[in-house]
């Protein structure tokens, strides 16, 4: 390891709030900087690098595709890679999901899902349906359409004049609200708020409800309480409201099932996926939907929506190889198994550090929330910025974790989401480095 020379000024903005070292190499669960320091990628980037970095099978598949051609415009040529990825995605999707379209990221996937939903309403003469109800807090993306669904006022407020803010309902944060997770009455309580909102808005104006099956950055690995997912499904069906699952973060296997929603018997009507779907090898996302949504749209002349890079063969070849690695290496089962081990170790940390108020999540989509009082669940003082400080302390130990405010503008949570290839030895290393950071 050599001492870090000062970095030259950067012309990039939207970077980290502090200068971070330059990346030199990444392999498996580790990333190295140019000074030779090694970091355990304990958040898989932003919950992206699910199968770890530089898997040679994915690199080979991409190399082969590059040699055949890096781009074929979808209106001019079909490609093997896009057709294969579509087949594999539909095979993984719920019953009746027969078609897919590709995008290059999570915001585009959410944007595409809500536009497809609206196109369905248009095609089926339900043109009064346009509102998409979402939850607070939530994050669904940075484009204006996806931002309108995002339940986080500091991000959305400057742009409200340029978009139509959409109705919101509270996310089912049972722990925060002091309700029992395993009592179906808790799930029914939050689902009833959705139904009340649909009735208040007028069901004939409501197009869809969008939610993350297991919450990501905005709620910190929020797992819905018993009964919630089934009740939401039933309410949406009864009011003719489409159910959209934002699987941008929870999809791709991280929860131990390929789709986060597969942990319940409550299939959605549309799914948006990205992040772990391309697993950091290529900018890639997808929208898939049940045929009862897609067929009326196709019958009425199709869906005039798309992006130039949609379905580009290089990204799709990477996607195919990623799905093959998940299957070949049994990574869903490993995410479940190692997720249990890591969650138990995080719970043990909560015994030791009284400011850890809640440990939650499924598989390797895990988080803990920090509080000043575990009984009242009162947050740490806002100006402590504990979530950012802990990230920096862990970084100094060579551990990358991901943090956010957990209650809108206050509260602190840390997501611990290493790649699905992680082993018990990696869990030991994460816990050791985290313990040092928490002690500091």
Q: Which residues bind ligand PMP (CB under 6 A)?
A: 46, 105-107, 110, 139-142, 212, 216-217, 246, 248-249, 274
Using CB positions, name the residue nearest to ligand PMP. 106
Q: For ligand PMP, which is the closer residue by CB, 244 or 320?
A: 244
What residues contact 105, with CB distance under 8 A and at least 6 apart?
274, 283, 284, 285
What is the smallest separation between the CB atom of 211 and ligand PMP, expressed in angstroms?
Answer: 10
At closest approach, how far in Å is the CB of 245 from ligand PMP? 10
Q: From the CB of 67, what's the least distance to ligand PMP, in Å?
A: 28
CA 175 to chain centre: 21
Q: Where are the strands (E) in 28-178, listed by range?
A: 30-33, 38-40, 97-103, 131-136, 168-170
Task: Determine the Cα–Cα distance for residues 38 and 262; give it in Å rounded to an integer.
Answer: 35
Residues in Cβ contact with 94 at an 8 Å cutoff, skipping those fewer than 6 apart: 259, 261, 262, 267, 268, 271, 290
Nearest distance from C-beta of residue 188 to ligand PMP, angstroms: 25
Calculate the CA dihedral of residues 49, 51, 52, 55 and round it to 10 degrees: -120
Nearest distance from C-beta of residue 202 to ligand PMP, angstroms: 27
Question: Least distance to ligand PMP from the beta carbon of 54, Å?
Answer: 21
Place of tokens 């082969």: 64
User: Which residue lies nearer to ligand PMP by CB, 277 or 393?
Assistant: 277
Q: Which two tokens stand for residue 334?
A: 């490993």
Q: Which is nearer to ligand PMP, 72 or 172 (CB)?
A: 172
Q: Say if residues 387 and 402 touch (Cβ distance below 8 Å).
A: no
| CA dist., res. 164 & res. 147, Å (int) | 10
Of 86 and 110, the one with the shorter C-beta distance to ligand PMP is 110
Nearer to ligand PMP, 142 or 347 (CB): 142
Residue 48 or 431 with smaller CB distance to ligand PMP: 48
């Amino acid at each position: 390891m050599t001492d870090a020379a000062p970095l030259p000024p950067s012309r990039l903005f939207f970077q980290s709030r502090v200068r971070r070292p330059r990346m030199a190499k990444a392999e498996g669960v580790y990333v190295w900087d140019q000074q030779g320091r090694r970091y355990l990628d304990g958040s898989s980037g932003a919950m992206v690098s699910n199968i770890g970095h530089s898997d040679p099978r994915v690199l080979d598949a991409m190399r082969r595709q590059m040699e055949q051609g890096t781009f074929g415009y979808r209106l001019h040529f079909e490609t093997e890679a896009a057709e294969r990825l579509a087949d594999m995605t539909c095979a993984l999707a719920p019953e009746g999901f027969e078609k897919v379209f590709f995008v290059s990221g999570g915001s585009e996937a959410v944007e595409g899902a809500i536009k497809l939903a609206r196109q369905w309403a248009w095609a089926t003469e339900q043109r009064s349906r346009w509102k998409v109800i979402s939850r607070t807090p939530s994050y669904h993306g940075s484009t204006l359409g996806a931002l309108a669904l995002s339940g986080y006022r500091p991000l959305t407020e400057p742009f409200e004049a340029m978009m139509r803010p959409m109705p919101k309902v509270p996310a089912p944060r049972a722990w925060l609200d002091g309700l029992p997770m395993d009592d179906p009455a808790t799930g029914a309580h939050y689902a009833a708020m959705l139904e009340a909102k649909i009735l208040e808005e007028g069901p004939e104006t409501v197009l869809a409800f969008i939610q993350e099956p297991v919450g990501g950055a905005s709620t910190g690995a929020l797992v819905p309480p018993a009964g919630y997912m089934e009740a939401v499904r039933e309410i949406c069906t009864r009011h003719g409201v489409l159910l959209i699952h934002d699987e941008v973060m929870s999809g791709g296997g991280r929860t131990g099932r390929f789709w986060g929603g597969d942990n319940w018997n409550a299939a959605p009507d549309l799914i948006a996926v990205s992040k772990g779907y391309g697993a950091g090898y290529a900018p890639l996302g997808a929208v898939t939907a049940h045929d009862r949504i897609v067929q009326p749209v196709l019958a009425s002349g199709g869906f005039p929506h798309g992006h130039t890079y949609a379905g580009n063969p290089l990204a799709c070849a990477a996607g195919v190889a990623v799905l093959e690695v998940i299957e070949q290496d049994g990574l869903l089962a490993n995410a479940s198994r190692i997720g249990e081990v890591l969650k138990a170790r995080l719970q043990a940390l909560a015994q030791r550090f009284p400011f850890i108020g809640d440990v939650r999540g499924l598989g390797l989509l895990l988080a803990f929330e920090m509080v000043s009082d575990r009984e009242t669940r009162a947050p740490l003082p806002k100006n402590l910025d504990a979530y950012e400080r802990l990230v920096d302390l862990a970084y100094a130990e060579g551990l990358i974790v991901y943090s956010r405010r957990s209650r809108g503008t206050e509260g602190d949570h840390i997501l611990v989401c290493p790649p699905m290839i992680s082993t018990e030895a990696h869990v030991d290393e994460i816990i050791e480095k985290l313990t040092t950071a928490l002690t500091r």
